[in-house]
Amino acid sequence: MADISWELFHQQVQDCTLCSLYATATHKVPGQGDIHSPLMFIGEGPGQREDEEGIAFIGPAGQLLTKMLSAIYLPRDRVYICNIVKCRPPNNRVPLDEEMAACKLHLRMQVALIRPKVIVLLGSTALHATLGPDHYITRERGKWYERKGVWMMPTYHPSALLRDPLKKREAWEDMQSLRNRLIDLNLYPDIYQELTSDDI
Ligand code: URA
């Protein structure tokens, strides 16, 4: 799709009044990163820092996400990062079903523009909104799902890792599984073909 569609997407998000979250948001947070990335991360919704700056995952959870990416040799600017909802829910509450449903229009357009090969769902909100409400993050993290040729893996949200560092071991397993999937699909060859098996 031509870049003009990205303009349309960003305009559509900026103009959006489909749910009431727009009224309390300081900035809309559409998402950012490499628009040609084969890998997309989807979180829940903007927190305070993201709302202040208009950029997804730049607060403490985002800093941890950046570290997790670099642990599998991925620079953050080589992936695309966004959220289920593009406006901050007041007091960081979980987005309501109707807010997620309204915002799906934007997410669908984003996925259609990026056409990722792999999607990582960060936390239960992203898992529920994408694969359905009868999925459980504790049970399904690290599992792979294929939907219409796209590989999807839920893992813990980085905020959950900050709250409970004991989850970090499982999160690291998930990141290794992600790296293996990227290697299997021959994505990021410039990064992974440079590494020897000792590195990974
Ligand atoms: N948590 C999220 O789910 N998304 C962000 O952008 C920041 C924190």
| Maximal C-alpha separation, the chain | 52
How far apart are the CA of 119 and the centre of ligand 1, in A? Answer: 16
Q: What is the pLDDT of residues 159-187, one digit of tens each?
A: 999 999 999 999 999 999 999 999 999 99
Give the predicted TM-score (pTM) of the model.
0.96
- Over range 13-38, report the average pLDDT: 98
Asked whether 80 lines ligand 1 (CB < 6 A), one says no
The 10s digit of each residue's pLDDT in 118-151 is: 999 999 999 999 999 999 999 999 999 999 999 9
Choose the residue to mutate in 81, 121, 128, 157 for probing ligand 1, maximizing ligand atoms within 8 Å of C-beta: 157
Q: Is residue 83 lining ligand 1, measured as CB closer than 6 Å?
A: yes
Q: Closest ligand 1 atom to the C-alpha of 59?
A: 7
Residue 43 burial (C-beta neighbours within 10 Å; 0-12, 13-18, 19+): buried
Atom of ligand 1 nearest to the CA of 57: 6
75 CA → ligand 1 middle, Å: 18
> pLDDT for 36-89, tens place per residue?
999 999 999 999 999 999 999 999 999 999 999 999 999 999 999 999 999 999
Tens digit of pLDDT for each residue in 103-122?
Answer: 999 999 999 999 999 999 99
pLDDT of 199 over the 80 cut: no
CA distance linking residue 150 with residue 51, whole number of Å = 30
Q: What are 93's two structure tokens?
A: 């509450």
198 or 1: whose pLDDT is higher?
A: 198
Which has the closest alpha carbon to 169: 141, 128, 196?
A: 141
The packing angle between helices 124-131 and 97-114, to 10°, is 80
pLDDT value, residue 30: 98
Q: Which atom of ligand 1 is nearest to the CA of 125?
A: 3
Residue 3 has pLDDT above 60, yes or no: no
Q: Ligand 1 pocket test: which of 57, 94, 162 has the largest number of ligand atoms within 8 Å of its C-beta?
A: 57
Strand order in the sheet with 80-83: 32-33, 80-83, 39-43, 118-122, 150-155, 145-147
Backbone φ and ψ for 55, nearest 5 degrees, come out as -125, 135
The finding on whether 62 has its CB within 6 A of some atom of ligand 1 is yes
pLDDT band at 194 (very low <50, low <70, confident <90, very high): confident
List C-alpha distances in Å: 97 to 71, 134, 154, 185. Answer: 34, 14, 19, 34
